[in-house]
């Protein structure tokens, strides 16, 4: 099992968070700065994850390959490495302070 999915499987109640920095998405984002630089815009998405049931693994693989065709010929993802996620943007600190 991949290290990431080991962490997801061990997380109580399937809680998870994904942080994306501007520099990861946009060419030249953050002016070429480090994505951990506080001046670089970030969004945190929070939610829960759960393992894909065995009967859904073929569908999950099809969805992965449709989005990332290079994964079609690779057999590096095992059945227990598929997780489904229910995600939502985290409340901003500005909204929380208001």
pLDDT exceeds 60 at position 46: yes
Say if pTM beats, i.e. exceeds, 0.85.
no
Number of folded domains that form the chain: 1
Task: Tell me the backbone φ, ψ of residue 82, rounded to 5 degrees.
Answer: -95, 125
Domain span at residue 16 reads 3-97
Closest CA to 9 of 50, 38, 43, 46: 50
pLDDT in tens, 30-45: 666 676 777 777 778 8
The token pair that represents 34 in the structure block = 């480090």
Average pLDDT, integer, range 42-66: 86
Over pLDDT 90: what percentage of the chain? 3
Write down the residue that tokens 């070429």 correspond to. Answer: 32
């Amino acid at each position: 099992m991949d290290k990431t999915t080991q962490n997801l499987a061990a997380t109580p109640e399937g809680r998870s968070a994904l942080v994306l920095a501007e520099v990861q998405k946009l060419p030249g984002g953050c002016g070429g700065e480090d994505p951990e630089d506080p001046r670089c815009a970030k969004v945190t998405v929070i939610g829960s994850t759960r393992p894909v049931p065995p009967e859904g693994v073929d569908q999950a693989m099809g969805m992965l390959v449709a989005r990332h065709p290079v994964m079609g010929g690779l057999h590096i993802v095992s059945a227990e490495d598929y997780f489904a996620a229910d995600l939502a943007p985290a409340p901003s600190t500005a909204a929380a302070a208001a």
